[in-house]
Structure 1
Amino acid sequence: MNFPEVPPADTPAPRLRQRMACFLYEGVLLFGVVMIAGLFYGIVTRQTHALVGTAGLRAFLFAVLGVYFVYFWWRSGQTLAMQTWHIRLVTRDGQPVRPLRALCRYLLAWLWFLPALAAVWLSGLTGSGVTFGALSAGVIAYAGLVWLHPQRQFFHDAVCGTRLISWKLPPRKARGKTTAPNS
Structure 2
Amino acid sequence: MTAPDRPAPTSAPRHPAAPLSRRLLAMVYESLLLAGVVAVGFLTPHLLIGALLHRLASPGILWTHLFLLLALYFLWFWLHGGQTLAMKTWRLRLEDARGRPVTPFQGMIRYLVAWPSALLGVGLLWSLFDRDRQFLHDRLAGTRIVALPR
Cα shift readout 1:102-158 (whole Å, capped 9, x = no counterpart): 111011111211x3xxxxxxxxxxxxxxxxxxxxxx3xx542321222221111111
Residue pairs, 1:48-127, within 5 angstroms: 48=54, 52-110=57-115, 111-113=117-119, 115=120
- Per the alignment, do residues 148 and 56 of structure 1 end up closer, same or farther by CA in structure 2, a change over 3 Å counting? same
What letter matches 1:101 in structure 2?
Answer: Q
**Kept after mapping to 1: 8 A contact 2:123/2:137:** no
Aligned-residue offset at 1:78: 0.3
Show the counterpart of 1:172.
Answer: none
Give the SS at the match of 2:95.
strand
| Divergent runs of 4+, >4 A | 44-47
The answer for the alignment partner of 1:35 in structure 2 is 39
Cα displacement (A) at 1:44: 4.7
Range 22-31 or range 37-46, more displaced: 37-46
Which amino acid letter does the alignment assign opposite residue 105 of structure 2?
A: L
Q: Please say if 1:160 is aligned against 2:144.
A: no
Identity score, percent = 35
**Structure 1 CA distance for aligned equivalents of residues 140 and 13 of structure 2:** 21
Pairs aligned (count): 137
Q: Distance in 2 between matches of 1:156 and 1:167?
A: 21
Task: Label 1:166 to 1:42 Cα distance change in 2 as closer, same or farther (>3 A).
Answer: same
Give the Cα separation in 2 of the matches to 1:49 and 1:24. Answer: 34
User: Structure 2: how far apart are the matches of 1:7 and 1:49?
Assistant: 54
User: Which AA in structure 1 matches 2:87?
Assistant: M
- Superposition TM-score, scaled by structure 1 size: 0.67
Report if the CA contact (8 A) 1:88-1:167 is conserved.
Answer: yes
TM-score w.r.t. structure 2 length?
A: 0.81
Following the alignment from structure 2 to structure 1, what is the Cα–Cα distance between the partners of residues 127 and 36?
29
Counterpart amino acid of 2:99?
A: G
Task: Tell me the residue number matched to 1:13.
Answer: 17
Q: CA RMSD in A?
A: 2.1
Gaps of 5+ in 1: 1-5, 116-137, 170-183
- C-alpha displacement of 1:7: 5.1
Unmatched segments (≥5 aa) in structure 2: 1-10
Q: CA separation in 1, counterparts of 2:88 and 2:76?
A: 14
